[in-house]
Amino acid sequence: MITFQKYVKVQSLDEAYELNKTRKNRIIGGMMWLRTGRGSVNTAIDISGLGLDTIEEDDEEFKIGAMVSLRKIEKHEGLNSYSNNAVQSAVKDIVGVQFRNMATVGGSIWGRFGFSDVLTVFLAMDTYVELHNAGIVPLSEFVNMKRDDDILVRIIVKKTPIKISYSAVRAQRTDFPVLACAVSEFDGMYKTTIGARPGKAILIKDEDGIMAAGITSDSAKAYADYVASHTPTDSNLRGSAEYRTHLTKVLTERNLLRIGGIE
């Protein structure tokens, strides 16, 4: 188990950022993932006193504080009505209610975990990450940025009109997903995100315009094949690369038909 020498509940993001520059110090979110790690941390930097546990919603966007729990986004009416319950679908099977009361959106996105349902669903939306030092960057860029000593302050989801559907396959209800998939359409572009490949979520856009004439069973199949051929998969104890590629096709097609109202 991870151990800490010191604990500081910071008064400001600047204070947290300064402390986080020291390599042996760590920001703590819900601490669920950190807790499973080993080693010794010098100072645990707690940002829970900075009011980052709220979801602000206006006409343009949702601002989700880094310390907002997964349970809060699961139950947030505005976010779920905007995303056609995709957010709820993505988090509802993450361990249990008690767990989701503690695990945070900030820790989930910051971690850029391969298995992440959370990253997979937000990557399929018009999402940005607000970093204390680097400012606001699209989530699609953040996914590929190196982990540094910055602090994730909020994630911002623009209320761009969207169609979206999420599904994942799990061997057992509360286990990590074998594969996670979201399909969305906004700004005239179809997008698919595949997580738990088992690598971290990847975003595949319909660059070839396969869906240009809209969703039919034929175009859905062709696009699902396109996504699968652009998605690297690998094997681990939850599933083989071949199985994951097969699931990529099935879930992409299924989500697509769902947003087209065909299934």
Partner 1 sequence: MIDINLTLNGKKISDQVDADSVLLDFLRDHDCYSVKRGCETSNCGLCTVLMDGMPVLSCSMLTVRADGHSIQTLEGLQEEASSFVGFIADQGADQCGFCNPGFVMNTIALLRENPDPTDDEIRAFLAGNLCRCSGYEGQLRGIRNYLNSRVKE
Strand partners, 180: 168, 195
Instruction: Tell whether residue 95 is a contact of partner 1 (CB under 8 A).
Output: yes
Taking CB atoms, the residue at the shortest distance from ligand FAD is 107
Instruction: Tell whether residue 2 is a contact of partner 1 (CB under 8 A).
Output: yes
Minimum CB separation from ligand FAD for residue 115, in Å? 6
Q: Please list every residue from 18 through 47 that binds partner 1, using CB under 8 A.
A: 28, 30-32, 35-36, 44, 46
Contacting residue, 11, 12, 22, 101, with partner 1 by CB under 8 A: 101
Instruction: Tell whether residue 147 is a contact of partner 1 (CB under 8 A).
Output: no
Q: Compare residues 1 and 213 and give the one whose CB is closer to ligand FAD.
A: 1
Instruction: Tell whether residue 186 is a contact of partner 1 (CB under 8 A).
Output: no
User: Site for partner 1 (CB under 8 A): how many residues?
Assistant: 28
Structure tokens of 221? 């199949």
Minimum CB separation from partner 1 for residue 239, in Å? 20
Contacting residue, 59, 98, 146, 147, with partner 1 by CB under 8 A: 98
User: Binding residues for ligand FAD, per CB under 6 A?
Assistant: 26-34, 36, 66, 94-95, 103-104, 106-108, 110-111, 113, 115-118, 151-152, 176-177
Cα 104 to Cα 153: distance, rounded to the nearest angstrom: 12
Structure tokens of 4? 């800490």
Q: Compare residues 111 and 198 and give the one whose CB is closer to ligand FAD.
A: 111
Q: Which does 210 bind (CB under 5 to 8 A by kind): ligand FAD, partner 1, none?
A: none
Longest dimension (CA), the chain: 60
Instruction: Tell whether residue 48 is a contact of partner 1 (CB under 8 A).
Output: yes
Cα 95 to Cα 248: distance, rounded to the nearest angstrom: 23
Q: Which residues bind partner 1 (CB under 8 A)?
A: 1-7, 9, 28, 30-32, 35-36, 44, 46, 48, 92-93, 95-99, 101-102, 173-174
